[in-house]
Chains A and B, each alone.
Chain A
Amino acid sequence: MKKKSLGGALVAVPHIVWSALFIIAPLLFVLYYTFTSPEGGFTFDNILGLTEYADIFRTSIEMSIIATFCCFLIGYPLAYFIARSTERQKKIFMILLMLPMWTNLLIRTYSMMAILDDGGFLNSILLALDLAPVHIVGTKGAVIFGIVYDFFPYMVLPIYTAIEKIDRRLLEAASDLGCSNAQVMTQVILPLSKSGIVSGITMVFVPSISTFYISQKLGGGTFELIGDTIERQFQSYSTYNIGAAISLVMMILILISLAIMNRFSDGEETAGRLKR
Protein backbone atom coordinates (compact mmCIF):
# COMPACT_ATOMS: atom_id res chain seq x y z
CA MET A 1 0.00 0.00 0.00
CA LYS A 2 2.68 2.40 1.06
CA LYS A 3 4.77 1.74 -2.00
CA LYS A 4 1.85 2.48 -4.28
CA SER A 5 1.09 5.87 -2.78
CA LEU A 6 4.74 6.82 -3.04
CA GLY A 7 4.66 5.93 -6.72
CA GLY A 8 1.56 8.08 -7.04
CA ALA A 9 3.26 11.14 -5.62
CA LEU A 10 6.16 10.67 -8.04
CA VAL A 11 4.05 11.84 -10.98
CA ALA A 12 4.42 15.35 -9.58
CA VAL A 13 8.18 15.18 -10.19
CA PRO A 14 8.14 16.66 -13.74
CA HIS A 15 6.26 19.64 -12.40
CA ILE A 16 8.65 20.06 -9.46
CA VAL A 17 11.62 19.98 -11.82
CA TRP A 18 9.88 22.42 -14.17
CA SER A 19 9.11 24.82 -11.31
CA ALA A 20 12.68 24.71 -10.06
CA LEU A 21 14.10 25.35 -13.54
CA PHE A 22 11.64 27.91 -14.85
CA ILE A 23 10.17 29.64 -11.78
CA ILE A 24 12.85 29.54 -9.09
CA ALA A 25 15.92 29.78 -11.33
CA PRO A 26 14.70 32.86 -13.27
CA LEU A 27 13.99 34.65 -9.99
CA LEU A 28 17.44 33.73 -8.74
CA PHE A 29 18.80 35.27 -11.92
CA VAL A 30 16.92 38.48 -11.11
CA LEU A 31 18.61 38.44 -7.70
CA TYR A 32 21.99 37.68 -9.23
CA TYR A 33 21.76 40.48 -11.78
CA THR A 34 20.52 42.91 -9.12
CA PHE A 35 23.63 42.42 -7.00
CA THR A 36 26.29 42.21 -9.70
CA SER A 37 27.88 44.70 -12.03
CA PRO A 38 27.94 44.11 -15.80
CA GLU A 39 31.51 42.83 -15.33
CA GLY A 40 30.28 40.23 -12.86
CA GLY A 41 31.51 41.54 -9.49
CA PHE A 42 29.31 41.81 -6.43
CA THR A 43 27.89 45.29 -5.94
CA PHE A 44 25.13 47.29 -4.27
CA ASP A 45 25.38 50.00 -6.93
CA ASN A 46 22.30 48.88 -8.84
CA ILE A 47 20.08 49.09 -5.77
CA LEU A 48 21.68 52.31 -4.51
CA GLY A 49 21.42 53.86 -7.97
CA LEU A 50 17.66 53.45 -7.89
CA THR A 51 17.25 56.82 -6.17
CA GLU A 52 17.55 58.14 -9.71
CA TYR A 53 14.24 56.45 -10.48
CA ALA A 54 12.45 57.59 -7.31
CA ASP A 55 10.25 59.99 -9.26
CA ILE A 56 9.20 57.29 -11.68
CA PHE A 57 8.33 54.98 -8.79
CA ARG A 58 6.29 57.72 -7.15
CA THR A 59 4.39 58.59 -10.34
CA SER A 60 3.64 54.92 -11.03
CA ILE A 61 2.37 54.22 -7.54
CA GLU A 62 0.32 57.40 -7.55
CA MET A 63 -1.23 56.71 -10.94
CA SER A 64 -2.03 53.08 -10.27
CA ILE A 65 -3.65 53.96 -6.94
CA ILE A 66 -5.78 56.62 -8.63
CA ALA A 67 -6.72 54.23 -11.46
CA THR A 68 -7.54 51.41 -9.03
CA PHE A 69 -9.66 53.76 -6.96
CA CYS A 70 -11.56 54.97 -10.06
CA CYS A 71 -12.17 51.35 -11.08
CA PHE A 72 -13.58 50.68 -7.62
CA LEU A 73 -15.79 53.78 -7.57
CA ILE A 74 -17.30 53.00 -10.96
CA GLY A 75 -17.15 49.22 -10.62
CA TYR A 76 -18.76 48.64 -7.25
CA PRO A 77 -22.17 50.16 -8.13
CA LEU A 78 -22.09 48.32 -11.45
CA ALA A 79 -21.38 44.98 -9.74
CA TYR A 80 -24.14 45.69 -7.23
CA PHE A 81 -26.71 46.63 -9.86
CA ILE A 82 -25.84 43.58 -11.99
CA ALA A 83 -26.19 41.32 -8.95
CA ARG A 84 -29.69 42.70 -8.42
CA SER A 85 -30.92 42.13 -11.98
CA THR A 86 -32.91 39.16 -13.20
CA GLU A 87 -31.12 35.91 -14.11
CA ARG A 88 -31.54 36.49 -17.83
CA GLN A 89 -30.16 40.03 -17.61
CA LYS A 90 -27.25 38.80 -15.51
CA LYS A 91 -26.27 36.37 -18.24
CA ILE A 92 -26.28 39.13 -20.86
CA PHE A 93 -24.38 41.57 -18.63
CA MET A 94 -21.77 38.90 -17.90
CA ILE A 95 -21.16 38.35 -21.61
CA LEU A 96 -20.91 42.10 -22.10
CA LEU A 97 -18.38 42.31 -19.28
CA MET A 98 -16.44 39.25 -20.42
CA LEU A 99 -16.05 40.31 -24.04
CA PRO A 100 -13.62 43.18 -23.34
CA MET A 101 -11.63 40.85 -21.05
CA TRP A 102 -11.29 38.44 -23.92
CA THR A 103 -10.21 41.14 -26.29
CA ASN A 104 -6.46 41.53 -26.35
CA LEU A 105 -5.06 44.29 -24.16
CA LEU A 106 -3.26 45.84 -27.12
CA ILE A 107 -6.48 46.10 -29.11
CA ARG A 108 -8.34 47.69 -26.20
CA THR A 109 -5.59 50.23 -25.68
CA TYR A 110 -5.50 50.90 -29.37
CA SER A 111 -9.25 51.49 -29.52
CA MET A 112 -8.79 54.05 -26.76
CA MET A 113 -6.21 55.74 -28.99
CA ALA A 114 -8.68 55.80 -31.86
CA ILE A 115 -10.99 57.86 -29.66
CA LEU A 116 -8.59 60.14 -27.84
CA ASP A 117 -5.89 60.83 -30.41
CA ASP A 118 -5.41 64.39 -31.68
CA GLY A 119 -6.85 63.44 -35.05
CA GLY A 120 -9.18 60.91 -33.48
CA PHE A 121 -12.90 60.44 -33.17
CA LEU A 122 -13.49 62.70 -30.16
CA ASN A 123 -11.69 65.62 -31.70
CA SER A 124 -13.48 65.33 -35.02
CA ILE A 125 -16.78 65.41 -33.14
CA LEU A 126 -15.64 68.47 -31.21
CA LEU A 127 -14.58 70.15 -34.44
CA ALA A 128 -17.89 69.33 -36.07
CA LEU A 129 -19.63 70.99 -33.15
CA ASP A 130 -17.40 74.05 -33.55
CA LEU A 131 -15.65 73.38 -30.26
CA ALA A 132 -11.93 73.61 -29.65
CA PRO A 133 -10.12 70.26 -30.02
CA VAL A 134 -8.60 68.82 -26.86
CA HIS A 135 -5.16 67.38 -26.53
CA ILE A 136 -5.47 64.25 -24.41
CA VAL A 137 -2.96 61.67 -25.60
CA GLY A 138 0.35 62.44 -23.94
CA THR A 139 -1.10 63.50 -20.61
CA LYS A 140 -1.25 61.60 -17.34
CA GLY A 141 -5.02 61.76 -17.52
CA ALA A 142 -5.01 59.77 -20.75
CA VAL A 143 -2.86 57.03 -19.21
CA ILE A 144 -5.07 56.79 -16.11
CA PHE A 145 -8.09 56.71 -18.39
CA GLY A 146 -6.50 53.89 -20.40
CA ILE A 147 -5.63 51.87 -17.30
CA VAL A 148 -9.17 52.23 -15.95
CA TYR A 149 -10.63 51.24 -19.30
CA ASP A 150 -8.36 48.23 -19.76
CA PHE A 151 -8.60 46.72 -16.29
CA PHE A 152 -12.12 47.78 -15.27
CA PRO A 153 -13.78 44.36 -15.82
CA TYR A 154 -11.23 42.76 -13.47
CA MET A 155 -12.61 44.92 -10.67
CA VAL A 156 -16.27 44.26 -11.38
CA LEU A 157 -16.17 40.48 -11.71
CA PRO A 158 -14.85 39.47 -8.25
CA ILE A 159 -17.04 42.08 -6.52
CA TYR A 160 -20.05 40.82 -8.43
CA THR A 161 -19.24 37.24 -7.40
CA ALA A 162 -18.97 38.28 -3.75
CA ILE A 163 -22.24 40.24 -3.75
CA GLU A 164 -23.99 37.39 -5.55
CA LYS A 165 -23.04 35.03 -2.75
CA ILE A 166 -24.59 37.17 0.00
CA ASP A 167 -27.69 35.52 1.42
CA ARG A 168 -30.66 37.73 0.51
CA ARG A 169 -32.31 36.88 3.84
CA LEU A 170 -29.53 38.76 5.64
CA LEU A 171 -30.51 41.93 3.80
CA GLU A 172 -34.17 41.38 4.59
CA ALA A 173 -33.34 40.73 8.23
CA ALA A 174 -31.32 43.95 8.37
CA SER A 175 -34.18 46.04 7.01
CA ASP A 176 -36.67 44.24 9.26
CA LEU A 177 -34.51 45.16 12.22
CA GLY A 178 -34.71 48.81 11.26
CA CYS A 179 -31.75 49.46 8.96
CA SER A 180 -32.28 52.07 6.28
CA ASN A 181 -31.24 51.18 2.73
CA ALA A 182 -28.01 53.09 3.20
CA GLN A 183 -27.31 51.24 6.44
CA VAL A 184 -27.94 47.86 4.77
CA MET A 185 -25.37 48.91 2.19
CA THR A 186 -22.67 50.08 4.58
CA GLN A 187 -23.25 47.63 7.45
CA VAL A 188 -24.14 44.44 5.60
CA ILE A 189 -23.39 44.39 1.87
CA LEU A 190 -20.10 46.28 1.89
CA PRO A 191 -18.46 44.23 4.71
CA LEU A 192 -19.72 40.94 3.25
CA SER A 193 -18.28 41.75 -0.17
CA LYS A 194 -14.88 42.65 1.26
CA SER A 195 -13.18 39.56 -0.15
CA GLY A 196 -14.38 40.54 -3.63
CA ILE A 197 -13.17 44.10 -3.16
CA VAL A 198 -9.73 42.92 -2.04
CA SER A 199 -9.27 40.60 -5.02
CA GLY A 200 -10.66 43.23 -7.39
CA ILE A 201 -8.22 45.82 -6.13
CA THR A 202 -5.33 43.36 -6.38
CA MET A 203 -6.27 42.37 -9.89
CA VAL A 204 -6.34 45.97 -11.06
CA PHE A 205 -3.42 47.31 -9.04
CA VAL A 206 -0.80 44.70 -10.00
CA PRO A 207 -1.17 45.01 -13.78
CA SER A 208 -1.56 48.79 -13.64
CA ILE A 209 1.61 49.40 -11.65
CA SER A 210 3.61 47.24 -14.05
CA THR A 211 2.08 48.32 -17.35
CA PHE A 212 4.27 49.66 -20.10
CA TYR A 213 2.12 49.39 -23.17
CA ILE A 214 -0.63 51.72 -22.02
CA SER A 215 1.77 54.46 -20.96
CA GLN A 216 3.75 54.07 -24.19
CA LYS A 217 0.69 54.50 -26.37
CA LEU A 218 -1.51 56.89 -24.40
CA GLY A 219 1.32 58.71 -22.65
CA GLY A 220 2.85 59.46 -26.01
CA GLY A 221 6.34 58.87 -24.61
CA THR A 222 6.21 62.07 -22.56
CA PHE A 223 6.70 60.35 -19.22
CA GLU A 224 7.73 56.98 -17.87
CA LEU A 225 6.18 54.46 -15.54
CA ILE A 226 8.07 51.64 -13.80
CA GLY A 227 6.99 49.24 -16.53
CA ASP A 228 8.43 51.51 -19.24
CA THR A 229 11.70 51.85 -17.39
CA ILE A 230 12.05 48.09 -17.01
CA GLU A 231 11.06 47.49 -20.62
CA ARG A 232 13.65 49.99 -21.82
CA GLN A 233 16.47 48.48 -19.73
CA PHE A 234 15.82 45.10 -21.32
CA GLN A 235 14.73 45.88 -24.86
CA SER A 236 16.61 49.09 -25.72
CA TYR A 237 19.67 49.55 -23.52
CA SER A 238 20.45 45.95 -22.50
CA THR A 239 21.30 47.22 -19.02
CA TYR A 240 20.03 44.06 -17.41
CA ASN A 241 21.48 44.75 -13.98
CA ILE A 242 19.57 47.98 -13.43
CA GLY A 243 16.45 46.47 -14.98
CA ALA A 244 16.68 43.51 -12.60
CA ALA A 245 17.11 45.82 -9.60
CA ILE A 246 14.03 47.88 -10.56
CA SER A 247 11.99 44.71 -11.10
CA LEU A 248 13.06 43.31 -7.75
CA VAL A 249 12.08 46.48 -5.91
CA MET A 250 8.74 46.59 -7.72
CA MET A 251 8.10 42.94 -6.83
CA ILE A 252 8.82 43.61 -3.18
CA LEU A 253 6.55 46.68 -3.21
CA ILE A 254 3.72 44.62 -4.66
CA LEU A 255 4.24 41.78 -2.18
CA ILE A 256 4.15 44.22 0.74
CA SER A 257 0.93 45.84 -0.48
CA LEU A 258 -0.65 42.42 -1.08
CA ALA A 259 0.29 41.34 2.43
CA ILE A 260 -1.15 44.53 3.94
CA MET A 261 -4.36 44.13 1.95
CA ASN A 262 -4.79 40.52 3.01
CA ARG A 263 -4.07 41.26 6.65
CA PHE A 264 -6.65 44.03 6.47
CA SER A 265 -9.36 41.75 5.09
CA ASP A 266 -8.42 38.84 7.41
CA GLY A 267 -8.58 41.08 10.46
CA GLU A 268 -12.07 42.17 9.52
CA GLU A 269 -13.17 38.60 9.05
CA THR A 270 -11.94 37.59 12.50
CA ALA A 271 -13.64 40.60 14.03
CA GLY A 272 -16.89 39.61 12.35
CA ARG A 273 -16.58 36.09 13.67
CA LEU A 274 -15.98 37.33 17.22
CA LYS A 275 -19.02 39.55 17.08
CA ARG A 276 -21.16 36.60 16.23
Chain B
Amino acid sequence: MKYFSKIYIAVVFMLLYIPILVLMLFSFNKTSNTGAFDGFSLYWYKELFNSPETFTALKNTLILAVSTAVIATVIGTAAAVGMVKMKNHVLRTAIQSVTNIPMMNPDIVTGISMMLLFVAIGTFVGLADKLSFWTMLISHVTFCLPYVILSVLPRVKAMDKSIPEAAQDLGCTPIQSFFKVELPMIMPGIFSGAILAFTMSLDDFVISYFTNGNDFQTLPLLIYSMTKKEVKPDIYALSTLMIIAITVLLILSNFSGNKDDIDRRRHEKMIAKASAQKPAAKKN
Protein backbone atom coordinates (compact mmCIF):
# COMPACT_ATOMS: atom_id res chain seq x y z
CA MET B 1 0.00 0.00 0.00
CA LYS B 2 2.78 2.36 0.95
CA TYR B 3 4.60 1.58 -2.28
CA PHE B 4 1.46 1.78 -4.32
CA SER B 5 0.73 5.32 -3.11
CA LYS B 6 4.32 6.40 -3.85
CA ILE B 7 4.16 4.93 -7.36
CA TYR B 8 0.74 6.46 -7.98
CA ILE B 9 1.89 9.95 -6.95
CA ALA B 10 5.04 9.59 -9.07
CA VAL B 11 3.15 8.45 -12.17
CA VAL B 12 0.51 11.21 -11.99
CA PHE B 13 3.08 13.94 -11.50
CA MET B 14 5.17 12.51 -14.32
CA LEU B 15 2.20 12.66 -16.67
CA LEU B 16 1.54 16.21 -15.50
CA TYR B 17 5.10 17.31 -16.18
CA ILE B 18 6.15 15.39 -19.29
CA PRO B 19 4.37 17.77 -21.71
CA ILE B 20 5.90 20.83 -20.03
CA LEU B 21 9.37 19.29 -20.04
CA VAL B 22 9.08 18.24 -23.69
CA LEU B 23 8.03 21.77 -24.57
CA MET B 24 11.04 23.17 -22.74
CA LEU B 25 13.38 20.69 -24.42
CA PHE B 26 12.20 21.58 -27.91
CA SER B 27 12.60 25.29 -27.28
CA PHE B 28 16.35 24.55 -27.52
CA ASN B 29 16.03 22.66 -30.79
CA LYS B 30 18.30 23.73 -33.64
CA THR B 31 15.59 23.32 -36.27
CA SER B 32 11.90 24.09 -36.30
CA ASN B 33 11.20 20.37 -35.95
CA THR B 34 8.84 19.76 -33.02
CA GLY B 35 9.11 15.96 -33.15
CA ALA B 36 12.79 15.11 -33.12
CA PHE B 37 15.62 16.88 -31.33
CA ASP B 38 18.24 17.92 -33.87
CA GLY B 39 20.76 19.55 -31.59
CA PHE B 40 21.03 22.23 -28.94
CA SER B 41 20.79 25.89 -29.91
CA LEU B 42 19.51 29.18 -28.58
CA TYR B 43 18.24 30.19 -31.99
CA TRP B 44 14.57 30.50 -30.96
CA TYR B 45 15.47 32.59 -27.94
CA LYS B 46 17.47 34.97 -30.12
CA GLU B 47 14.54 35.13 -32.50
CA LEU B 48 12.24 35.94 -29.58
CA PHE B 49 14.46 38.65 -28.15
CA ASN B 50 14.86 40.21 -31.58
CA SER B 51 11.15 40.79 -31.93
CA PRO B 52 9.93 44.03 -30.41
CA GLU B 53 6.45 42.45 -30.15
CA THR B 54 7.54 40.31 -27.21
CA PHE B 55 8.74 43.26 -25.17
CA THR B 56 5.71 45.40 -25.96
CA ALA B 57 3.46 42.53 -24.87
CA LEU B 58 5.43 42.03 -21.66
CA LYS B 59 5.27 45.75 -20.90
CA ASN B 60 1.53 45.86 -21.65
CA THR B 61 0.85 42.82 -19.47
CA LEU B 62 2.63 44.40 -16.51
CA ILE B 63 0.99 47.81 -16.97
CA LEU B 64 -2.43 46.19 -17.11
CA ALA B 65 -1.81 43.90 -14.13
CA VAL B 66 -0.47 46.69 -11.92
CA SER B 67 -3.30 49.11 -12.78
CA THR B 68 -5.87 46.34 -12.28
CA ALA B 69 -4.40 45.42 -8.90
CA VAL B 70 -4.35 49.05 -7.71
CA ILE B 71 -7.90 49.90 -8.78
CA ALA B 72 -9.42 46.58 -7.69
CA THR B 73 -7.68 46.77 -4.31
CA VAL B 74 -8.85 50.31 -3.58
CA ILE B 75 -12.47 49.72 -4.62
CA GLY B 76 -12.57 46.23 -3.12
CA THR B 77 -11.13 47.23 0.25
CA ALA B 78 -13.53 50.14 0.54
CA ALA B 79 -16.38 47.79 -0.38
CA ALA B 80 -15.37 45.22 2.25
CA VAL B 81 -15.13 47.90 4.95
CA GLY B 82 -18.46 49.41 3.92
CA MET B 83 -20.24 46.07 3.65
CA VAL B 84 -19.41 45.10 7.22
CA LYS B 85 -20.81 48.40 8.48
CA MET B 86 -24.04 47.96 6.54
CA LYS B 87 -27.08 47.54 8.77
CA ASN B 88 -29.32 46.23 6.02
CA HIS B 89 -28.55 42.54 5.70
CA VAL B 90 -30.67 41.98 2.62
CA LEU B 91 -28.74 44.69 0.80
CA ARG B 92 -25.45 43.25 1.96
CA THR B 93 -26.26 39.74 0.77
CA ALA B 94 -27.50 41.16 -2.53
CA ILE B 95 -24.25 43.09 -3.08
CA GLN B 96 -22.19 40.05 -2.22
CA SER B 97 -24.11 37.79 -4.60
CA VAL B 98 -23.76 40.27 -7.47
CA THR B 99 -20.04 40.62 -6.74
CA ASN B 100 -19.60 36.87 -6.98
CA ILE B 101 -21.23 36.60 -10.41
CA PRO B 102 -18.00 37.01 -12.43
CA MET B 103 -16.37 34.36 -10.25
CA MET B 104 -19.09 31.81 -10.93
CA ASN B 105 -19.81 32.56 -14.56
CA PRO B 106 -17.62 30.90 -17.17
CA ASP B 107 -14.97 33.37 -18.34
CA ILE B 108 -16.34 33.34 -21.85
CA VAL B 109 -19.74 34.63 -20.64
CA THR B 110 -18.09 37.42 -18.63
CA GLY B 111 -16.01 38.21 -21.70
CA ILE B 112 -18.84 38.39 -24.22
CA SER B 113 -21.20 40.25 -21.87
CA MET B 114 -18.60 42.97 -21.35
CA MET B 115 -17.89 43.04 -25.07
CA LEU B 116 -21.61 43.60 -25.77
CA LEU B 117 -21.70 46.48 -23.28
CA PHE B 118 -18.55 48.14 -24.63
CA VAL B 119 -19.59 47.79 -28.26
CA ALA B 120 -23.03 49.25 -27.47
CA ILE B 121 -21.57 52.19 -25.55
CA GLY B 122 -18.88 52.71 -28.17
CA THR B 123 -21.49 52.80 -30.94
CA PHE B 124 -23.69 55.15 -28.92
CA VAL B 125 -20.84 57.58 -28.20
CA GLY B 126 -19.48 57.17 -31.73
CA LEU B 127 -16.01 55.84 -30.96
CA ALA B 128 -13.94 54.49 -33.84
CA ASP B 129 -12.16 51.94 -31.64
CA LYS B 130 -14.80 50.52 -29.37
CA LEU B 131 -12.39 48.20 -27.59
CA SER B 132 -9.12 49.47 -26.14
CA PHE B 133 -6.80 49.36 -23.15
CA TRP B 134 -9.57 50.96 -21.09
CA THR B 135 -12.19 48.31 -21.83
CA MET B 136 -9.64 45.65 -20.95
CA LEU B 137 -8.77 47.41 -17.71
CA ILE B 138 -12.44 47.69 -16.74
CA SER B 139 -13.04 43.99 -17.37
CA HIS B 140 -9.94 42.95 -15.46
CA VAL B 141 -10.91 45.07 -12.47
CA THR B 142 -14.40 43.55 -12.61
CA PHE B 143 -13.28 39.93 -12.46
CA CYS B 144 -10.61 40.66 -9.83
CA LEU B 145 -12.92 42.59 -7.45
CA PRO B 146 -14.60 39.52 -5.90
CA TYR B 147 -11.21 38.03 -5.03
CA VAL B 148 -10.04 41.24 -3.37
CA ILE B 149 -13.27 41.54 -1.38
CA LEU B 150 -13.09 37.90 -0.30
CA SER B 151 -9.51 38.40 0.90
CA VAL B 152 -10.25 41.59 2.82
CA LEU B 153 -13.72 40.82 4.21
CA PRO B 154 -12.66 38.15 6.77
CA ARG B 155 -10.03 40.54 8.15
CA VAL B 156 -12.55 43.33 8.57
CA LYS B 157 -15.05 40.97 10.18
CA ALA B 158 -12.45 39.58 12.59
CA MET B 159 -11.38 43.04 13.71
CA ASP B 160 -12.27 44.07 17.25
CA LYS B 161 -14.71 46.97 16.82
CA SER B 162 -13.76 48.48 20.15
CA ILE B 163 -10.27 49.35 18.92
CA PRO B 164 -11.27 52.01 16.37
CA GLU B 165 -13.84 53.22 18.91
CA ALA B 166 -11.07 53.55 21.48
CA ALA B 167 -9.02 55.49 18.95
CA GLN B 168 -11.90 57.90 18.42
CA ASP B 169 -12.44 58.26 22.17
CA LEU B 170 -8.81 59.22 22.42
CA GLY B 171 -9.37 62.03 19.96
CA CYS B 172 -8.96 60.55 16.47
CA THR B 173 -11.35 61.70 13.79
CA PRO B 174 -13.14 58.77 12.06
CA ILE B 175 -10.83 59.26 9.08
CA GLN B 176 -7.72 59.22 11.26
CA SER B 177 -8.87 56.13 13.08
CA PHE B 178 -9.46 54.39 9.77
CA PHE B 179 -6.04 55.13 8.34
CA LYS B 180 -4.07 54.78 11.56
CA VAL B 181 -5.88 51.90 13.26
CA GLU B 182 -8.20 49.94 10.99
CA LEU B 183 -6.12 49.94 7.82
CA PRO B 184 -2.95 48.50 9.40
CA MET B 185 -5.06 45.75 10.97
CA ILE B 186 -6.60 44.60 7.70
CA MET B 187 -3.37 45.14 5.72
CA PRO B 188 -2.48 41.42 5.32
CA GLY B 189 -5.86 40.82 3.66
CA ILE B 190 -5.42 43.84 1.41
CA PHE B 191 -1.95 42.70 0.45
CA SER B 192 -2.97 39.18 -0.48
CA GLY B 193 -5.99 40.55 -2.37
CA ALA B 194 -3.71 42.84 -4.38
CA ILE B 195 -1.30 40.03 -5.26
CA LEU B 196 -4.21 37.81 -6.22
CA ALA B 197 -5.64 40.50 -8.51
CA PHE B 198 -2.20 41.06 -10.05
CA THR B 199 -1.65 37.40 -10.86
CA MET B 200 -5.20 36.85 -12.11
CA SER B 201 -4.85 39.76 -14.49
CA LEU B 202 -1.43 38.52 -15.63
CA ASP B 203 -2.79 35.08 -16.39
CA ASP B 204 -6.09 35.95 -18.04
CA PHE B 205 -6.64 35.10 -21.67
CA VAL B 206 -10.35 34.49 -22.26
CA ILE B 207 -11.77 37.77 -20.94
CA SER B 208 -8.93 39.77 -22.52
CA TYR B 209 -9.58 38.02 -25.82
CA PHE B 210 -13.09 39.46 -26.01
CA THR B 211 -12.38 42.93 -24.67
CA ASN B 212 -8.97 43.83 -26.12
CA GLY B 213 -8.37 46.53 -28.67
CA ASN B 214 -6.09 46.13 -31.64
CA ASP B 215 -3.45 48.41 -30.22
CA PHE B 216 -2.95 46.69 -26.90
CA GLN B 217 -1.66 43.13 -26.81
CA THR B 218 -0.73 41.20 -23.67
CA LEU B 219 1.46 38.10 -23.40
CA PRO B 220 -1.42 35.57 -23.34
CA LEU B 221 -2.93 37.29 -26.39
CA LEU B 222 0.47 37.24 -28.11
CA ILE B 223 0.81 33.50 -27.45
CA TYR B 224 -2.67 32.99 -28.86
CA SER B 225 -1.91 34.88 -32.04
CA MET B 226 1.38 32.98 -32.36
CA THR B 227 -0.37 29.61 -32.08
CA LYS B 228 -2.75 30.63 -34.86
CA LYS B 229 0.18 30.58 -37.23
CA GLU B 230 2.47 27.68 -38.02
CA VAL B 231 3.81 25.63 -35.11
CA LYS B 232 7.24 27.04 -34.40
CA PRO B 233 9.48 26.63 -31.35
CA ASP B 234 9.50 30.39 -30.72
CA ILE B 235 6.29 29.88 -28.71
CA TYR B 236 8.07 27.13 -26.83
CA ALA B 237 10.87 29.53 -26.00
CA LEU B 238 8.46 32.21 -24.73
CA SER B 239 6.56 29.58 -22.73
CA THR B 240 9.76 28.21 -21.25
CA LEU B 241 10.80 31.66 -20.06
CA MET B 242 7.38 32.22 -18.50
CA ILE B 243 7.43 28.82 -16.76
CA ILE B 244 10.93 29.47 -15.40
CA ALA B 245 9.85 32.88 -14.07
CA ILE B 246 6.83 31.31 -12.36
CA THR B 247 8.87 28.45 -10.90
CA VAL B 248 11.45 30.81 -9.42
CA LEU B 249 8.71 32.98 -7.89
CA LEU B 250 6.88 29.97 -6.48
CA ILE B 251 9.99 28.43 -4.94
CA LEU B 252 11.18 31.75 -3.53
CA SER B 253 7.83 32.42 -1.92
CA ASN B 254 7.73 28.91 -0.47
CA PHE B 255 11.16 28.83 1.03
CA SER B 256 11.52 32.43 2.09
CA GLY B 257 9.40 31.57 5.12
CA ASN B 258 7.01 34.36 4.20
CA LYS B 259 3.69 33.82 5.92
CA ASP B 260 1.68 35.08 2.97
CA ASP B 261 3.19 32.79 0.40
CA ILE B 262 1.93 32.71 -3.11
CA ASP B 263 0.68 29.15 -3.22
CA ARG B 264 -1.46 29.77 -0.19
CA ARG B 265 -2.95 32.70 -2.03
CA ARG B 266 -3.83 30.53 -4.98
CA HIS B 267 -5.23 28.09 -2.49
CA GLU B 268 -7.25 30.85 -0.83
CA LYS B 269 -8.62 31.83 -4.19
CA MET B 270 -9.97 28.36 -4.75
CA ILE B 271 -11.42 28.06 -1.29
CA ALA B 272 -12.99 31.47 -1.62
CA LYS B 273 -14.42 30.47 -4.95
CA ALA B 274 -15.79 27.22 -3.58
CA SER B 275 -17.39 28.81 -0.54
CA ALA B 276 -18.88 31.60 -2.60
CA GLN B 277 -20.56 29.17 -4.92
CA LYS B 278 -22.84 27.86 -2.22
CA PRO B 279 -24.98 30.84 -1.24
CA ALA B 280 -25.23 32.13 -4.79
CA ALA B 281 -26.23 28.82 -6.25
CA LYS B 282 -28.90 28.45 -3.60
CA LYS B 283 -30.41 31.69 -4.68
CA ASN B 284 -31.05 30.34 -8.14
Q: Give the B-binding residues of A (Cβ under 8 A).
A: 4-5, 7-16, 18-19, 22-27, 29-30, 33, 74, 77-78, 81-82, 84-85, 91, 93-96, 98-108, 110-115, 117, 119-121, 123-124, 149, 152-154, 157-158, 161, 195, 198-199, 202-203, 206-207, 209-210, 212-213, 217, 227, 230-231, 234-235, 240, 243-244, 247, 250-251, 254-256, 258-259, 261-262
Report the separation of the CA atoms of residues A15 and B80 in the bound assembly, to the nearest whole angstrom: 9
Complex interface: chain B residues within 8 A of A258 (CB)? 104, 277, 281, 284
Q: Do B35 and A124 have beta carbons less than 8 Å apart?
A: yes
Report the separation of the CA atoms of residues A202 and B36 in the bound assembly, to the nearest whole angstrom: 39
Q: Do A262 and B81 have beta carbons less than 8 Å apart?
A: no
Q: Do B35 and A120 have beta carbons less than 8 Å apart?
A: yes
Report the separation of the CA atoms of residues A258 and B278 in the bound assembly, to the nearest whole angstrom: 9
Which of B22, B251, B277 is the one whose CB lies under 8 Å from A114?
B22
Report the separation of the CA atoms of residues A110 and B209 in the bound assembly, to the nearest whole angstrom: 17
Report the separation of the CA atoms of residues A77 and B11 in the bound assembly, to the nearest whole angstrom: 12
Task: Give the interface segment out of B43-51, B115-123, B186-194.
Answer: B115-123
Interface residues of B in 218-242 (CB under 8 A from A): 219-220, 223-224, 227, 231, 235-236, 239, 242
Q: Give the A-binding residues of B (Cβ under 8 A).
A: 5, 8-9, 12-13, 16-20, 22-23, 26, 33-36, 75-76, 78-79, 81-83, 85-87, 95, 98-99, 101-102, 104-110, 112-117, 119-120, 138-139, 141-142, 145, 149, 174, 199, 203, 205-206, 209-210, 219-220, 223-224, 227, 231, 235-236, 239, 242-243, 246-247, 250-251, 254, 263, 266-267, 270-271, 273-274, 277-278, 281-282, 284
Answer whether A14 and B112 are a contact pair too, CB < 8 Å, given A114-B26, A119-B35. no
Report the separation of the CA atoms of residues A120 and B34 in the bound assembly, to the nearest whole angstrom: 6
Closest to B5 in A: A81
Closest to B18 in A: A115
